[in-house]
Every structure is written in structure tokens, then in C-alpha cells.
């Protein structure tokens, strides 16, 4: 089995999974409906802005049900995955989910950019926001991929969304007692190491805030965390065994 043939087969199997997943279809359809509603009800700029901040969630949704269920269903104990080839397949799968999210985002961005340029509503800053969104999407894919070693089906995505919901609820419920944090996170500058670390800690759970604050420390910090989770994912895949349950 040549490397090229193996990659083509992995791409075929993963492509079918991504295309036949109802969750992926629903997430994409819901996202498009939301953007359409914002455009119709408000304006192109509001819709475009929502796209730039929310598009990384596509990578997150496409990364649901990555590894756990396939490993434990014994589907990988197949002729196609002998001699440790299941490791390459799983790594390709994680990469393909991220690529599908990023590719869809790029396609939508191209549409928005073309319309914005034609109507003179395109701002150059949108490019920076989109680039930061790609990093956020890659971070989501790495974290969700790593979590899917331990969590069944789509619960790797749900737990991230739940964490974000709890973070929001925490901000709302403790707003009066913790005046400092919310203000510091939304301030024009983040003076001092403590404020920067606080920002990074929050961005580990809600990385989309990096799209708004594209400072060197936030980009480097999120990039470092993405690399860390990608490394953990690669290590878990490389040392994976198809044990009996």
C-alpha cells in the first residue's frame, strides 16, 4: 500500500464522514441562516462582522466525534488499517476536520470580500481578523481533537461550548463583585503581565476574543496553546493502541 494510495483512501473515508454528518450540515446551515438574517435585518457589515467572529466555530463543529467512538467501535481493526496505519488515518481525520472548517470559512470570506470590494464596504482590518480567525479555528480543532480521545461522540464539542456558557454566566453573575476582570479584558490596552495572563487564560476557553484583540502576546499565546494541543494530539495518536473494551 503506497503512501499516496493510503492518503487517497483516508481522504475518501473522512470526506464521506464529513459530508454525511447531520451535525455538520445543521451547523453550517444554521450559520448561513444567521448570517443571512443579520444581513437582511441589519446590514452587510454586521453580517460580515458576525462571520469574522463566529467562523472559527465551524472548525469546532466539524471536529465533533473524531476519535473515541471509532477506536472503541473496532472499525479500525480492518484490513485498511493494518501495521499501525490507523494512526495516520486518525491524524489525517483531525487535519481534515480543521481543513474543512477553514476551507468553508475561506469560501464564505471570499464571497463577503468580493461583495465588500464591489460596494466599497471592505476594510483592510478584516484581513487581520480573518487571519486571527484561522488561528482560532486551528486552536479549536486541536483542542477538540485532543478531547475526543476521552469523550464520546460530540461531547468533545459540547464540553467546550458548556465551558464557554459557564464562563459567560460567571461574568454576568459576578459582574458586581469582579469589576476588574471584565473591564481589563475589554480595555484598549492590557498593562502588566497579570492582565495579559488573565486575557490568555480566558482566551484558552473563549479564543474568539483574540480576533478582537490581535496583539502580539494574544496571537503568540493562542498559537502556543494551539501548538501544545496539536502536540498532545499527535502524541496520543502516535501511542494509540486498539485495545479491547
Residues that bind other proteins (CB under 8 A): 1-2, 5-6, 8-9, 12-13, 16-17, 20-21, 70, 73-86, 239, 241-244
Question: Closest distance between other proteins and the C-beta of residue 66, in Å?
Answer: 13
Closer residue to other proteins, CB minimum distance, 74 or 167: 74
Closer residue to other proteins, CB minimum distance, 83 or 189: 83
Cα(93)–Cα(231) distance, rounded to whole angstroms? Answer: 15
- For residue 119, the Cα-to-chain-centroid distance in whole angstroms is 30
Question: Closest distance between other proteins and the C-beta of residue 5, in Å?
Answer: 5
Question: Closest distance between other proteins and the C-beta of residue 89, in Å?
Answer: 11
Question: Closest distance between other proteins and the C-beta of residue 71, in Å?
Answer: 10
Residue partners of 215: CB distance under 8 A and separation at least 6: 190
Question: Closest distance between other proteins and the C-beta of residue 144, in Å?
Answer: 19
Cβ pair 219, 132 in contact under 8 A: yes
Question: Closest distance between other proteins and the C-beta of residue 193, in Å?
Answer: 43
Residue 237 grid cell: 495518536
Residue partners of 145: CB distance under 8 A and separation at least 6: 63, 66, 67, 94, 97, 98, 156, 229, 233
**CA atoms 82, 151, 140, 53: torsion sign:** positive
Closer residue to other proteins, CB minimum distance, 24 or 47: 24
The residue among 188, 157, 154 whose CA lies nearest residue 65 is: 154
Closer residue to other proteins, CB minimum distance, 12 or 168: 12
Closer residue to other proteins, CB minimum distance, 74 or 201: 74
Closer residue to other proteins, CB minimum distance, 77 or 183: 77
Q: Which residue in this structure is represented by grid cell 487571519?
A: 131
Closer residue to other proteins, CB minimum distance, 80 or 159: 80
Question: Closest distance between other proteins and the C-beta of residue 13, in Å?
Answer: 6
Cα(170)–Cα(164) distance, rounded to whole angstroms? Answer: 10
**CA atoms 196, 200, 202, 206: torsion sign:** positive
Amino acid at each position: 500500500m503506497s503512501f499516496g494510495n493510503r492518503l487517497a483512501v483516508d481522504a475518501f473515508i473522512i470526506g464521506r464522514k464529513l459530508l454525511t454528518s447531520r451535525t455538520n450540515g445543521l451547523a453550517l446551515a444554521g450559520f448561513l441562516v444567521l448570517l443571512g438574517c443579520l444581513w437582511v435585518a441589519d446590514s452587510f457589515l454586521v453580517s460580515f462582522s458576525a462571520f469574522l467572529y463566529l467562523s472559527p466555530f465551524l472548525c469546532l463543529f466539524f471536529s465533533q466525534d473524531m476519535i473515541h467512538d471509532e477506536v472503541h467501535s473496532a472499525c479500525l481493526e480492518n484490513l485498511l488499517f493494518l501495521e499501525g496505519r490507523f494512526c495516520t488515518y486518525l491524524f489525517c481525520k483531525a487535519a481534515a476536520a480543521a481543513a474543512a472548517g477553514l476551507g468553508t470559512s475561506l469560501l464564505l470570506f471570499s464571497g463577503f470580500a468580493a461583495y465588500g470590494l464591489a460596494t466599497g464596504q471592505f476594510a483592510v482590518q478584516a484581513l487581520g481578523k480573518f487571519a486571527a480567525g484561522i488561528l482560532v479555528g486551528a486552536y479549536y480543532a486541536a483542542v477538540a481533537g485532543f478531547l475526543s480521545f476521552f469523550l464520546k461522540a460530540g461531547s468533545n464539542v459540547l464540553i467546550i461550548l458548556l465551558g464557554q456558557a459557564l464562563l459567560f454566566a460567571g461574568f454576568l453573575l459576578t459582574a458586581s463583585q469582579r469589576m476588574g476582570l471584565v473591564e481589563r479584558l475589554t480595555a484598549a490596552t492590557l498593562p502588566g503581565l497579570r492582565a495579559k495572563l488573565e486575557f490568555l487564560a480566558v482566551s484558552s476557553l473563549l479564543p474568539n476574543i483574540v480576533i478582537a484583540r490581535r496583539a502580539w502576546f494574544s496571537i503568540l499565546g493562542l498559537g502556543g496553546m494551539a501548538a501544545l494541543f496539536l502536540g498532545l494530539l499527535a502524541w496520543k495518536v502516535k501511542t494509540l493502541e486498539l485495545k479491547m473494551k
